Amino acid sequence: MSAPVQAADTESGHATLSGEDLTAASERIRQTGAKMREDLRKARAHLDAQKAQEEAEKARLAAEKTRQAAERQHQEELERQQALKDKQQREAQLATQERMRKEAAARAEQQAERQRQDALTAKQQEAAREQAARTRAAEALKDARASVGIRAFGDDRQAARARAAEALKKARESTGVRAFGE
């Protein structure tokens, strides 16, 4: 160690410092500087950590916002697809109902046409039966007149009426009563 250095300035009234005092002061200044640098380093580290935390929070919030937007967009797409599916289902159902209605109308029209044809056929058959009955009755009357002669009908009206009634009865039995309109 060096010998204490003393200041020779006693005239100015300043106190003099020894070398140890200067060394101690220098050490305190060095320690204070080191402490200030350490405090500054810690403050910077704390500030950097705080900034990093804030950036991480901003990033997390941005990611959450992006996720929510993506989820909202996905939900809207699902709803759009469901609405489209529902619309297509309704249209298909309406088309099916319309097709079934047309088929039912066509079946009803066919049924009505069959009924008209059946009624026409039945009417024609009835007319044919009536005509056949009239023809048989006319033939029976003709045969009855021919067997007894025209004069027999004229001479004995009572007998002629009985024969005609008998011929009419036979004709009715062969064709049924309706053929003669009774």
Question: Running DSSP on this structure, what letter comes out for residue 176?
Answer: -
C-beta contacts of 97-104 below 8 A and 24+ residues apart: none
pLDDT digits (tens, 9 = 90+) for 86-139: 999 999 999 999 999 999 999 999 999 999 999 999 999 999 999 988 888 888
Are 167 and 143 within 8 A, CB to CB? yes
- Give domain limits for the chain: 21-180
Q: What is the pTM of this model?
A: 0.38
Are 140 and 170 within 8 A, CB to CB? yes
Question: Running DSSP on this structure, what letter comes out for residue 2?
Answer: P
pLDDT digits (tens, 9 = 90+) for 52-73: 999 999 999 999 999 999 999 9
